Structure 1
């Protein structure tokens, strides 16, 4: 796992509760990383108030940013008392995703931590538009969290896809596993590794067989086809995990759609952190991203394929 030396914490301007800061402190205590509190501030009434010239508007904006910086300073004690180094940064920007990406281009952050919202009525995480945009564009690992507990992660699950779908780099699965193992070591957590695959259903298999879509299908029945697919994914999964020497019972090869099977696995293992990879076309590897993230009740750490170039 790449060393975490600089954590960028995206602060929530309208809330006293900052799950992202709580998680960042937990990680920084184990890694001695620097924490930087980042806030993108904007107020539409200051953009062009009636009766003020450009210099006065700029002065109003600077005063507004100064007030937000003073607000960030109120969080200094909870970080400093942990013996950690902290920085503060407030920028004027209307679009938080663009502001974060511009900040990352200028900084050496190894990890971005941002709070998400959880609905108690629905008992699931609800991602807002800025979360979705960050998942697509953030070029460093992104931790989306809703946890307010200071307890370390107890169970961390890695979701991998050794079948090489979605044109993802082959090395991405190894990066996911190495990052998972590194965090498991930091927090002394339990580890789980899963791969979900979905063979063709009987109706579609028969249809493709009938039109000769796959000549290999013509020589086997449906059950033989399923066994062939199972053995194929077992071989790929075992080749990926065998070198790691995982204990029995912590690796899971699941038959079925990932958007259905993965949330079930998270619940069954009581995982409180799920680590997943994103392909170049901004899709979670092997998964329907919207369905998975709308139903997985834990923190999400996304690893972008582009990070291989860093």
Structure 2
């Protein structure tokens, strides 16, 4: 079953190239059912709001004129992509002073399954610089968020899924399955190889002092065995080969970036914090630390039951 068939693409008004739109079309073309892609832009010019010499009608007319100009530009950008009858491509421009709020409002209004946005890349440092809007989307958007770099997807690329197989928490287990299912769907569309990566904790160094009879080797072997067994069960459920799984000792923020680098992965799939309600403004320290250490596209998924602080129907 194809998962991403209703996609919102955020336009980058400051660039000629639109990698987010290109990636959306690449994903949409490989969908098993017709896809809808909306090319979206939120614009705002504070000077128009402060022009006291203009009447409200004149200000509205100026805003409408600016929106129309942007719509023309976006139609020109989208024109080369309108040759696929399998994909319905729409343009939408709104006047809003907070882009992330406009994006999330649109998600709630149209039930998008995926938001795709280009990240800023610093060529000199060869690193990705996430903007405040990026972080707001990662933390507050109710649907999956894909942040892409300004690059073409590599042939036979690799997708890394950061799973948490050692947990017995139902929310973690459910999120593992959602991440794997969506990554399988996305990997098929991008012609990529899927890899499941999991870390397990290092034995606390002070525990042998507190418990002299404690054998850290036996403990470590037991923990590793549990994680390997759990990983085997997860991969077998989805028919994933053993060589496409990695189980390493260490912190996720160390293990995941190393796997991404070693594989030359183009995309990492992360589950974000299970916090809901007002506390959902936090992405989760582990996910944030991983994102800070990687230089590739990021797909962030929320757990079931997540409630965005911007949900118009939330409490």
Q: How does 1:1-310 map onto structure 2 within 5 Å? A: 2-31=2-31, 32-83=34-85, 84-149=87-152, 154-164=157-167, 168-203=171-206, 205-206=207-208, 210=210, 219-281=213-275, 282=280, 288-306=286-304
Q: How many residues align?
A: 299
The separation in 1 between residues aligned to 2:51 and 2:167, in whole angstroms, is 54
For structure 2, the 5+ residue unaligned runs are: 308-315
For structure 1, the 5+ residue unaligned runs are: 211-216
TM-score by length of structure 2 reads 0.86
CA contact (8 A) 1:8 1:113 kept: yes
Q: How far did 1:53 drift?
A: 2.4
Q: Residues 101-138 of structure 1, C-alpha deviation per residue, up to 9 Å, x if partnerless? A: 10011113221100001212222211111111100111
| Alignment CA distance shift 1:163-1:117 (3 Å) | same
The separation in 2 between residues aligned to 1:279 and 1:236, in whole angstroms, is 21
The separation in 2 between residues aligned to 1:289 and 1:179, in whole angstroms, is 18
Give the stretch that moved more between structures: 300-309 or 176-185: 300-309
CA RMSD of aligned residues (A): 2.4
| Alignment CA distance shift 1:150-1:159 (3 Å) | closer
The separation in 1 between residues aligned to 2:67 and 2:138, in whole angstroms, is 27
SS in 2 for 1:290: helix
Q: Residues 255-295 of structure 1, C-alpha deviation per residue, up to 9 Å, x if partnerless? A: 1111111111011111111111112225667x623332122
| Alignment CA distance shift 1:15-1:104 (3 Å) | same
SS in 1 for 2:298: strand
The separation in 2 between residues aligned to 1:165 and 1:103, in whole angstroms, is 35
Q: Residues 221-240 of structure 1, C-alpha deviation per residue, up to 9 Å, x if partnerless? A: 22222223222322332232
Q: How far did 1:199 drift?
A: 2.5
Give the stretch that moved more between structures: 220-229 or 126-135: 220-229
